[in-house]
Amino acid sequence: MEHAIEVCELRHCYGKRVIYDNLNFKVPLGKVYGLLGKNGVGKTTLIKILMGFLRPVGGSCRILGDDSHTLSPETRRRVGLLFEGHLAYDFMTIQSAERFFAPFYPKWNRDYYYALTDKLGLPGSHRIGNMSEGQRSQVVLGLLMAQQPDVMILDDYTMGLDAGYRRLFLDHLAEYLKDGDKTVLVTSHIVQDLERFVDDIVFLERGGQTTQVSLRHFLGEFKLFTLPRNGSGNPTSGGPIRNVEITGEEYQLYTFEDSRAVTRHLESQGFACDKLEHRPMSFEDAFIGFTGRY
SS3 81: strand
In sequence order, what are the residues at sequence separation of 6 or more whose Cβ sits closer than 8 angstroms to the Cβ of residue 189? 156, 158
Q: If you average pLDDT over residues 113-131, what whole number do you get?
A: 92
Q: How far apart are the first and last CA of the chain?
A: 40
Residues 6+ apart with CB under 8 A from 199: 31, 32, 33, 214, 215
Neighbours of 263 (CB within 10 A): 19
CB-based contact 155:83 (threshold 8 Å): yes
Which of these, 100, 72, 106, lies nearest to 88 by C-alpha position? 100
Residues 130-186 pLDDT 10s: 998 888 888 988 999 999 999 999 988 877 778 888 888 888 888 888 888 899 999
Q: Which residue blocks in the chain are alpha helix, DSSP H?
A: 43-50, 73-77, 94-101, 110-117, 133-147, 163-177, 215-221, 259-268, 283-291
For the chain, which residues make up each domain, given as ranges? 3-215, 222-291
Question: What does the alpha-carbon distance between residue 37 and residue 22 come to, in Å, rounded to a whole number?
Answer: 17
- Predicted confidence band at 85 (pLDDT cuts at 50, 70, 90)? low
Which CATH code, of 3.40.190.10, 2.30.42.10, 3.30.1280.10, 3.40.50.300, is assigned to 3-215? 3.40.50.300
